[in-house]
Structure 1
Amino acid sequence: MITGLNHITLAVSDLERSLHFYTQVLGLKGYVKWESGAYLSAGDLWLCLSCDEPCPKNDYTHFAFDIAASDFDACCMRLIDAGVPQWKVNKSEGRSVYILDPDGHKLEIHVGGLESRLEALKSKPYSGLVWL
């Protein structure tokens, strides 16, 4: 039985550029790097950067990182100051900023979690919503 998310591996075209983005701009913790990759973490999430040719995606697939409400505004200012592009404007529950990494991977930085999202759905359900 699946018990959780183990890790996420992202294809990156320039390891040093991506390391800088994820550790210096987003603040993830770096552990090791080698010729074709690196291991980082965001809380309990293990992130692997792997040198490859990233494929552009045009769908809604993205990865969301947690952030404390008290850190959200400072994070957004840091992203603006670093010139990080946004790919979407938040229209859902909770505070979020939707950004692109240097290879165009879609990321979200979100205040809240599954419980707050489910609670919001009680008063404003999605079209066709069915509770399981």
Structure 2
Amino acid sequence: MNAVLTGVHHLKLWVSDLERSRSWYERVLGLEHHISFEDDDGVIRGMSFTVPGADFQIALRENQALARALRDADPFALQVTRDGLDAWVARLDAQGVPHGPIFRASAGHALGFTDPDGVQIRLYAPDEDLHAAQVDAEGVYRSAPPAREPAPGPDPT
């Protein structure tokens, strides 16, 4: 038997207000509620959602301290197509969700916006050709081509 990973089961995000975040994630990303989790005191502080078209779930867990600690974090990226990024810009605009521009990323193109707690969400459109052109022989991503030595020329002195 091999010890191998077979995929992503779920991503968990810490939120400060579970109901507010549930509403936002269902409305903005189209997530579908799957199951709720009660704590020992009988209060629901966790929910899991299916991601339509994907083979993993996103879980929300209410914890105000951890949600504050993750503010401005970029914990995950959701995969889309390059054309899909343009459709997401239109969707976010229609919903009044502020977002940045589509930008060239390390292995494709991306778009960023934040959830109600300030957690950064990235939508990522992979582009293998772009990625391959920016990875050197040692497998290091280079955002710009390496500096080259000037070609030898006549000695100016």
Tell me which interval the TM-score lies in, with the shorter structure as reference length.
0.7 to 0.9
Is residue 51 from structure 1 mapped to residue 62 from structure 2 by the alignment? yes
Task: Report the counterpart of residue 120 of structure 2 in structure 1.
Answer: 106
Residues 51-74 of structure 1: per-residue CA shift (max 9 Å, x gap): 101114456x33111224444323
Task: Report the counterpart of residue 8 of structure 1 in structure 2.
Answer: 11
Residues 50-103 of structure 1: per-residue CA shift (max 9 Å, x gap): 1101114456x3311122444432321121232323367623253321111111
Is residue 40 from structure 1 mapped to residue 49 from structure 2 by the alignment? yes
Task: Report the counterpart of residue 134 of structure 2 in structure 1.
Answer: 124
Cα pair distance change 1:87/1:104, threshold 3 Å: farther
Specify the SS of the correspondent of 1:64: strand
> 1:87–1:100: 8 Å Cα contact kept in structure 2?
no
Unpaired runs of 5+ residues, structure 2, are: 38-43, 141-157
Q: How does 1:87-106 map to 2 (within 5 A)?
A: 90-92=103-105, 93-106=107-120
Alignment: residue pair count: 125
Which of residues 21, 29, 32 is equivalent to 2:32? 29
In 2, distance between residues paired with 1:50 and 1:87? 26
- Which AA in structure 1 matches 2:114? L
> Structure 1-normalised TM-score?
0.75
In 1, distance between residues paired with 2:101 and 2:83? 22
Considering only CA atoms, is the larger Rg found in Structure 1 or Structure 2? 2
> 1:87–1:98: 8 Å Cα contact kept in structure 2?
yes
Deviation at 1:122, TM superposition (A): 2.7
> Structure 2-normalised TM-score?
0.65
Task: Report the counterpart of residue 81 of structure 1 in structure 2.
Answer: 94
Aligned-residue CA RMSD in angstroms?
2.6
Percent identity (aligned) = 26
